[in-house]
Every structure is written in structure tokens, then in C-alpha cells.
Amino acid sequence: MESRVLDYTQTNVLGTHRLLEACTRQGVRRLIVASSSSVYGPADRPSREDDPTCPVSPYGVSKLAAEQLCLAYARRADSPLSAVALRYFTVYRPRQRPDMAINRVLDRGM
């Protein structure tokens, strides 16, 4: 698990920091950040975008940290940047976790 925590941190937090620095140098004005529903943590109902965040996994923590880093850059007085985070829920991809709903649906249908 420790190596995954390092991967998440390097990719989501440090990678976002590098991206923000490049955006600053290039005068980028708008940034859309791909985040995750994992920032909400467990829920007993469908999440809403104004629900409080409470990530329980290293991945969710790293995605929330990336969001907050973007917002911090956008709030700086000398920054022309505005940023928005899109919190994706289920995204299909190869080698996806088998417990994800989309994976189960596709397995049944094929």
C-alpha cells in the first residue's frame, strides 16, 4: 500500500503542482481538474457536489489535495487562473476493479 500512496502523491499532488506552475508561467486563465468521487468518502445515499468531503483512502486524500492546491493557486491575488474540479464517479477503463458497478454490468451483458 505504501508504494501506491507514493504513486498517488507523486501523480495527483506533485503532478498537479507542476501543472499549476506551468499554467502560471504560460498565463493560463482556466483549468479543469479531473478529480474523483473518492473525495466524498463512504455515503449512504448518492453524493451531491455540495456534500462535505471526507476521503477515507490515500487515493481520495490525494485527489482532494490536488483540488485544494488548484483552488489555492486560483485564490492568489496575482493569479489570473480560475479552476474547477470535476468529480467523476464511475469511469470505464481496462483493468478496472472488478467490484465496480460498470464492470459487473458489462460482464453480465457480454
Q: Confirm whether 8 is a catalytic residue.
A: no
**Element of type H or E holding 107:** helix 101-109
Helix, strand, or coil (residue 85): strand
Beta strands in the chain (DSSP E): 30-36, 82-88
Q: Which of 59, 73, 88, 92 is catalytic?
A: 59
Q: Which residues are catalytic?
A: 59
